[in-house]
Structure 1
Amino acid sequence: MIERRLLRDLISALDRSPAVALVGPRQVGKTTLALEVGETRPSIYLDLESDADRAKLAEPELYLAEHQDKLVILDEVHRKPDLFQNLRGLIDRGRRAGRRSGQFLLLGSASIDLLKQSGESLAGRIAYLELGPFDLLEVGEAELDKLWLRGGFPDSFFAEGDGGSIRWRQDFIRTYLERDIPQFGFRIPAETLRRFWTMLAHSQGGLLNAAQLARGLGMDGKTVASYLDLLVDLLLVRRLAPWHNNVGKRLVKSPKVYVRDSGLLHALLGLGDREAILGHPVAGLSWEGFVIETLHAASWPGMEHHFYRTAAGAEIDLVLGFPGGRRWAVEIKRSLDPKPGKGFHSARADLEPERSYVVYPGQERFPLGDGIEAISLAGLAQRVATLAPSL
């Protein structure tokens, strides 16, 4: 059992808000975390994928009013979107009775419908948290290679052997495409979406080229954009936005695109073990995406994440932006002899970051000259996490 770092934040959010939405992809452990929170206080759990539990909510206000003294945990709440209007009335009634926090915990497998519905009906009454797969600060630095290879979905990470792990991931991908996505109301052929997702895996960390993707799929650019929006909303793909502030240079304006979980990336490409990954051209960009996701997981509200690239070739893989205009420059290397390139030095001259790091797979931290430090991924993630203000 790995303790999730989000547990403290989730309890804190419930203590100050009447409703909390916990979103994240399927199978990352939302239900387990919610039940762990439920053990700390009187609570009731309803799984809205269960016919029996949905039947209990045929008259939601009557049923939920009977449990107004408990934390009500509603799993897969997107399956009953009309429930949000009822929750609004129940929350307001609870507030008038003096219960201003900890009434509802809503779990959803994606941000799309959940955020849309709750944003319309529960404005000012709900807080949002995102739970991702395991991250490096949760599993420990000793498990870095395993986490990179298998990804952070618990059943993949804990599987018996690499073969069992990749089979779980392949089944997960098929189930997501064939069963889960249609439940959200999207009528997209599973095979078409698989081809699109696999194309994104082959271009991991590349600039988004919608026209090229459209040609490869034989469809128009608007359809490709809608497919990408879907995978981003399902929290399976990340669009990393370019740095956009005016620095007097011609900046790249297209986002970079990454399959968020490295294990799913490797499964989409059919890479089942470490040797297969290291022998594939995607290895460096897989590591880059893994680093970016790790630092995202370690970050806190108010931080910004961008990449920086000019038409002349100056580039920073990741720019971490802090409140107050402070920023760190991060170069990502899959080498034990990390040396920043010329483009990194040029980009630093443009942005003048407060700190500059080269993240590499080793464990030592040492200076590289010109104010640049080599640092382990765990070391930098820990630095970012410990800078978080008190919540």
Structure 2
Amino acid sequence: MIQRRIEPRVVERLREFPAVALLGPRQVGKTTLAHAIADKIGNDTLYLDLERPADRAKLTDPELYLEQHEAKMVILDEIHRLPGLFDVLRGVIDRRRRKGRKVGHFLLLGSASMDLLQQSAETLAGRIAYEELTPFSVDEIPISSLDQLWSRGGFPDSYLATSDAASYRWRSAFIQTYLERDVPSLGPRIPAETLRRFWQMLAHNQGQLLNAAQLAGSLGVSGQTIARYLDIMVDLLLVRRLQPWASNAQKRLVKSPKVYVRDSGLTHALLGIHNQEELLGHPVVGSSWEGFVLEAVLNMLPDTVRPSFYRTAAGAEIDLILDFGKNEHWAIEVKRSVSSPNPAKGFYLGCQDVAASRQIVLYPGNERYKLDADTEVMPPTQLLAELTAKLS
């Protein structure tokens, strides 16, 4: 089993809160991680999969059932299937607090949606912590397997498949299942083929500014409908919406967000790219690498760090800005070239505009070196190591 970076943090949260929600897309490894955490903590464990009718039937009287297992860690998988449980959990947790008993924990697993977050946030405020489990990231796999991770993506069954062909088949089936079963089961009633086309369009425009009018025209729907489709994909943690920098009122700044399909393997499957050989010859290769690297960085940021991108009408552009507060801004550019990872002039103009405290270029090489007095070139793994040390 590949050690997940998030595991120690979830264990720590379980010591601090009576309930922890572990959210992430389907098939990302939430159940496997939950059982590994339960084994590490050493508690007796009760696991209920709320997609199974037999397990849902056990919760006909959830309050009575859960009280009978108060000494155990209770893992509730696909918690969004029974949103009414949040009220019950609040009552159970509060009674235990009044009695001074700190027994058992609740580990809630869900394929994230806004309904789930809003329901639990309102009902379990002050009693629950949230953590997101992403697909495998750059810092969780051997450096020698970085290209495989980029090509296949980080979903465990895709990354660990016996061949590129098997990985591609898994991702294709995953996309089809999400569109035909999982999205409708979470509430939205959208034709699967329409949502597939929308998802494919986002993949074709990986890392580009959102052009809602163009997408709406291509799909024959309204701009409001495009916004709703995008909200759904973002809520399900399948698509990332990166907001523009908005702290320089004197510049003509781009106001549209940039949009990325979060998992590179899904991007490639949506575009019919079967393996790395095909990827290297595809027009999306540069933006795919950019999205892959940026996602690795963004996945490890706490809420206290505000990410954005910078672009002006005059041509200044920065792929990613990390705002740590107190005027500490890291400007990050992603280049796929090993031999000449030199940023364009617009990067330096952007760094002046935002008063960047660090200027970093991420590239697929192994060496770390100074490009000039202010700009440093490094592999993504070294930046991730720096961020881990800084944020710990």
Tell me whether the two structures share a fold, i.e. TM-score over 0.5.
yes
Amino acid in structure 2 at the alignment position of 1:60: P
Alignment pair present for 1:272 and 2:265: no
The answer for the alignment partner of 1:38 in structure 2 is 38
- For residues 375-386 of structure 1, what are the structure 2 equivalents within 5 Å? 375-386=378-389
The answer for the alignment partner of 1:346 in structure 2 is 349
Amino acid in structure 1 at the alignment position of 2:45: S
Amino acid in structure 2 at the alignment position of 1:273: N
1:278, distance to aligned residue in structure 2 (A): 1.1
1:42, distance to aligned residue in structure 2 (A): 2.1
Contact 2:366 2:378 in 1 (8 A): yes
Amino acid in structure 2 at the alignment position of 1:152: G
Contact 2:70 2:104 in 1 (8 A): no
The answer for the alignment partner of 2:371 in structure 1 is 368
1:112, distance to aligned residue in structure 2 (A): 1.9
Alignment pair present for 1:297 and 2:299: yes
1:101, distance to aligned residue in structure 2 (A): 7.4
Cα deviation, 1:136-174, whole Å, max 9, x if unaligned, reads 111122111000000000000000110000100000000
1:123, distance to aligned residue in structure 2 (A): 1.1
Contact 1:91 1:103 in 2 (8 A): no
The answer for the alignment partner of 1:120 in structure 2 is 122
The answer for the alignment partner of 2:80 in structure 1 is 78
The answer for the alignment partner of 1:131 in structure 2 is 133
Amino acid in structure 2 at the alignment position of 1:378: T
Alignment pair present for 1:13 and 2:13: yes
Structure 1 SS opposite 2:315: coil
Structure 1 SS opposite 2:3: coil
Contact 2:208 2:258 in 1 (8 A): yes
C-alpha separation in 1, matches of 2:69 and 2:161: 38
Amino acid in structure 2 at the alignment position of 1:86: V
2:145 pairs with one of 119, 143, 146 = 143
Bigger shift: residues 56-65 or 102-111:
102-111
1:320, distance to aligned residue in structure 2 (A): 1.1
The answer for the alignment partner of 1:238 in structure 2 is 240
1:43, distance to aligned residue in structure 2 (A): 2.0
1:88 pairs with one of 87, 90, 112 = 90
Alignment pair present for 1:189 and 2:191: yes
Give the gaps of 5 or more residues in structure 1: none
C-alpha separation in 1, matches of 2:149 and 2:249: 37
Cα deviation, 1:340-367, whole Å, max 9, x if unaligned, reads 1100111111112111111001010011
C-alpha separation in 1, matches of 2:104 and 2:291: 36
Cα deviation, 1:59-112, whole Å, max 9, x if unaligned, reads 000100101111111000001111111111001011112235752111001132
C-alpha separation in 2, matches of 1:325 and 1:131: 30
Aligned residues: 389
Structure 2 SS opposite 1:275: helix
1:247, distance to aligned residue in structure 2 (A): 5.2
The answer for the alignment partner of 2:108 in structure 1 is 106
C-alpha separation in 2, matches of 1:332 and 1:358: 6
Bigger shift: residues 369-378 or 35-44:
35-44
Amino acid in structure 1 at the alignment position of 2:60: A
Contact 2:71 2:103 in 1 (8 A): no
The answer for the alignment partner of 1:198 in structure 2 is 200
Report the aligned-residue RMSD: 1.1
Amino acid in structure 2 at the alignment position of 1:183: S
Contact 1:19 1:102 in 2 (8 A): no
Contact 1:210 1:221 in 2 (8 A): yes
TM-score, structure 1 normalization = 0.98
C-alpha separation in 2, matches of 1:105 and 1:53: 16
1:323, distance to aligned residue in structure 2 (A): 3.4
Amino acid in structure 2 at the alignment position of 1:308: Y
Contact 2:210 2:257 in 1 (8 A): yes
Bigger shift: residues 298-307 or 191-200:
298-307
Cα deviation, 1:217-275, whole Å, max 9, x if unaligned, reads 00111111000000000000000000011252111110000000000000000001112
Amino acid in structure 2 at the alignment position of 1:362: G
Bigger shift: residues 258-267 or 294-303:
294-303
TM-score, structure 2 normalization = 0.97
Structure 1 SS opposite 2:278: helix
C-alpha separation in 2, matches of 1:291 and 1:358: 11
- For residues 200-219 of structure 1, what are the structure 2 equivalents within 5 Å? 200-219=202-221
Amino acid in structure 1 at the alignment position of 2:22: L
C-alpha separation in 2, matches of 1:46 and 1:125: 21
Cα deviation, 1:295-354, whole Å, max 9, x if unaligned, reads 012323411111001110000000011133311110110101210110011111111211
C-alpha separation in 2, matches of 1:96 and 1:331: 52
C-alpha separation in 2, matches of 1:102 and 1:387: 33
Contact 1:70 1:103 in 2 (8 A): yes
Structure 1 SS opposite 2:371: strand
